[in-house]
Amino acid sequence: MKKWKLFAIAAVLVAAVVVGGTAAYLNDTERHTDAVTLAGNLEIELLQPAWKGGATTGVQPHQVIEKDPRILNKSDFDVFAYLEVVMPYADDLVLQDAAGRPVNAGAPGGPLYRYDVLDGWTLLADPSFVMDGGERRVSYVYAWMKDGAMVPLKAGEATGPLFTRVEVVNYAKATLGSRQDLTVNAYALDAAVLRDTDPTAPRTPQAMWTLLKNTYPSPSPTAQP
């Protein structure tokens, strides 16, 4: 079966949220995963120009963090682009309003962060739950699309940002694991796949994502490059 040119990259925003007065920190790491070796080189870069990196203390519920992930196509051909956001999920998370009143006590549960998705990115499917290091996390996958179809990202061009800031939800209660990091994974697939005559070639945004995810099941920012 033919192999298509693929690429994955991962970056992580690590945020140990202040709970009970415990100090918090933010840092940023990045790991590249080699593309499948074929004629031509597929390369993307995960850009986050607003993210300052380094260490920051005092992160608390309801705090806003500047972060604006986008994909730069460094290949010499068009690609299809995807971003995956993976974050902590607490089954007992209870949100509160500005006055400290619980707002979802009757139906607790939710992710630790929220953000507004910007134009050009489309949520590909319902969020899914994954186990990572024994902790439950939720994954959201977005495709660079327009009018229901994938938009080829041209060589040398970048997508728009998926979001420009992340907010720690204003929660009154949540049982959190040891990791509160928000991970952004970027993926790309040679856009020529849609011109391929091979009947096994993926044709839909979901099928192309499945190919990418099966090839790169979990690009881990903590793994050795």
Q: Establish if 224 belongs to a structural domain.
A: no
Q: Establish if 39 belongs to a structural domain.
A: yes
- Cα distance from N-terminal residue to C-terminal residue, the chain: 28
Residues 84-111: b if buried by 16+ CB within 10 A, e if exposed: bbbbbbbeebbbbeeeeeeeeeeebebb
The Cα 81–Cα 15 span in angstroms is 26
The Cα 87–Cα 68 span in angstroms is 16
Q: Establish if 64 belongs to a structural domain.
A: yes
Q: Establish if 220 belongs to a structural domain.
A: no
Q: Establish if 59 belongs to a structural domain.
A: yes
For the entire predicted model, the pTM comes to 0.81
Structural domain total, the chain: 1
Task: Show the domain range for 210.
Answer: 6-215
- Span 52-100, pLDDT tens digits: 765 445 557 778 888 899 999 998 889 999 999 988 888 887 887 777 7
Q: Establish if 49 belongs to a structural domain.
A: yes
Q: Establish if 69 belongs to a structural domain.
A: yes
Q: Establish if 223 belongs to a structural domain.
A: no
Write phi, then psi, for 193 (nearest 5 degrees).
-60, -30
> Quick one: pLDDT band at residue 218, thresholds 50, 70, 90?
low
